[in-house]
Amino acid sequence: MAVITIVGSGMMGSALAFPARENGHEVRLVGTHLDREIISVCLKTNRHPKFNKDFPEGVRFFQIEELEAALAGSDLVIGGVSSFGVDWFRDYVLEKIPAGTDVLTVTKGLMDGPDGSLKPYPYLWQQKLDETGHALNLCAVGGPCTSYELVAHDQTEVCFCGRDMDALRRVRALMATDYYHISLSRDVMGIESAVALKNGYALGVALTVGLNQRAFGLESELHYNSQAAVFYQAVREMGRLLKAQGAGTLDNLAVGAGDLYVTVYGGRTRLVGVLLGRGLDIDEAKKELNGVTLESLVVAERVARAVRIRASRGEAKITDYPLLMHVDDILTRHAPVDIPWEKFTYES
């Protein structure tokens, strides 16, 4: 039996407590300073307030003040924070994890630099570790997986990525179940870029749902031609961006496309895209969602900004990314939704 400590009690981090505990490991779930109420509920009910199923018997819950006690003796630490907690985890948590420990992050996103670079979050954590000389084995998870369906034991395929294949195999051995299936890859840039990019593009696909509701009524039948058209344009643009990122194989695009599919069909990104398609501007949509974390907005804006910088140096063509540029115009310039259908067409 191993000791697995999850830091961050958001939905995905908490969902991973299920396969971990069901495999017989000691599981410790630690809330961040923003998760106090979640942990209080878990302590009282043995259930995450967003889930409709109890945690497996034996999962232990800790408030942030108990972090160091929860980390003691851990064989695996899972970073379960959202993209807005990346800096906090890097600066506050990493140094407290015992040297040599395997670390798995569920956080998906890209940080853009003034030179137009786009770095996945594990790169930022690794940079911090290199600077301090604190040795940890960083791994990350990507792929099509929603937290509530993982909790429900729906068959799920993901990919763990990291520099060290031995570390990846150790983590897979701890987490894999008969419903949670795990591929392994050393291409951190490719996998993590793919699953981050899908957030911004899923918003683009969801715009069509709102457009059709505006045209035909909220209770109208779903229209799939328009969704599929934006979906395939999203995959084309993701492929171009992955090539620019130096991704290793087309397997990365497949992982990202799968993640794009599941994100389009549920969750916060779909909600904001639908609201925008109905005619709300981005400020109105945010107000409607009442403070829900919207990582898709951050990713889309950062990637579009990086592409514009690269294009200014002749390293990219804006015309290769009409969907991304339109999403960015909607988010940053409050442009109305007017999907550029003809810009998606091509000759080959």
Pairing of strands 102-105, 137-142: parallel
Q: Which residue from 268, 260, 302 is spatially nearest to 286, judged by alpha carbons? A: 268
Q: What is the CA radius of gyration of the chain?
A: 20
Do the beta carbons of residue 29 and residue 6 sit within 8 Å?
yes
> Strand runs (DSSP E) across the chain, as ranges?
3-7, 26-30, 60-62, 76-79, 102-105, 110-112, 118-120, 137-142, 156-162, 180-185
pLDDT in tens, 249-306: 888 899 999 999 999 987 789 999 999 999 999 999 989 888 666 788 999 999 999 9
Measured between alpha carbons, how far is 275 from 279 in angstroms, rounded to an integer? 7
pLDDT in tens, 211-249: 999 999 999 998 999 999 999 999 999 999 999 999 988
Measured between alpha carbons, how far is 113 from 120 in angstroms, rounded to an integer? 11
Delimit the CATH 1.10.1040.10 region(s) of the chain.
196-344
pTM, to two decimals: 0.94
Delimit the CATH 3.40.50.720 region(s) of the chain.
3-186
pLDDT in tens, 161-210: 999 999 999 999 999 999 999 999 999 999 999 999 999 999 999 999 99
- How many residues in total does the chain contain? 348
Question: Domain 3-186, CATH 3.10.20.90 — does that match?
Answer: no
Superfamily name with CATH number, domain 196-344: N-(1-d-carboxylethyl)-l-norvaline Dehydrogenase; domain 2 (1.10.1040.10)
pLDDT at 82: 87
